[in-house]
Amino acid sequence: MTGTVRGVLAVVGVLGAVGAFWAVGAIAGPAADAQGRPPGVPRGEVAIPLAGESDVATSNGPLRVLAPHGPFERGRAVVVMRSQGARTTVRLKVTGVGRTAAGRTFGAHLHTGPCVAGDGAAAGPHYNTDVINGRKPVRADHEREIWLDFTVSPSGAANASASVPFAPKPGDRSIVIHEHATDHHGTAGARLACLPLAWN
């Protein structure tokens, strides 16, 4: 993934430090210098690497239209996907949605393929960790796929987030917005718009 950072926790204040890239505890003594100090950590203080790394993939820009005359023709979106160990959280923010869509809920998912304007099929199927890893039976649910359904506010904005117990493999992928909320089979109707999300 792009933007790899190594998370660091201090010996003290561990609970409060989660989420900070660098956190420093004031621990004096020989133990401090026995640890490798990351950049910015003063001498005499200690930082201990978290288990695993935090990998971040982001995308920000205009939505690409897959079906004409929909409410997303002037839409924009930001997506941030962060994996730490086997856990991944994804946040999606959509703005500029047409007023006719206020109050409606749209399905949105991570798909395996690229986001190509006018070509919904190019995005391929949902990213499903069972399929990618050859596990059977394949199940389609919010633990095996990244579902980001959102409801549009009166101002034409929406937010969604998802947390899944796997780290998606890199690729030239996309977030696809569909015409309906996702049902329990994972289907959500026609593909209306997409945002590219590529990382390696």
Running DSSP on this structure, what letter comes out for residue 165? S
**Given the rule CB under 5 A, which residues bind Cu ion?**
109, 176
Rounded to a whole number of angstroms, the minimum distance from the CB of residue 178 to Cu ion is 5
Q: In terms of CB distance, is 9 or 66 closer to Cu ion?
A: 66
| Amino acid at the residue 76 | R
- Which of 66-86 are b and which e, b meaning 16 or more Cβ less than 10 Å from the residue's Cβ? bbeebbbbebbbebbbbbbee
Rounded to a whole number of angstroms, the minimum distance from the CB of residue 107 to Cu ion is 6
Q: In terms of CB distance, is 7 or 71 closer to Cu ion?
A: 71
Rounded to a whole number of angstroms, the minimum distance from the CB of residue 84 to Cu ion is 25
Rounded to a whole number of angstroms, the minimum distance from the CB of residue 69 to Cu ion is 20
Q: In terms of CB distance, is 45 or 145 closer to Cu ion?
A: 145
Q: In terms of CB distance, is 38 or 189 closer to Cu ion?
A: 189
Answer whether 48's CB lies under 8 Å from 24's CB. Answer: no
Residue 9: its H or E element: strand 8-10
Token pair belonging to 1 = 């993934």
Q: Which residue is nearest to Cu ion (CB)?
A: 109
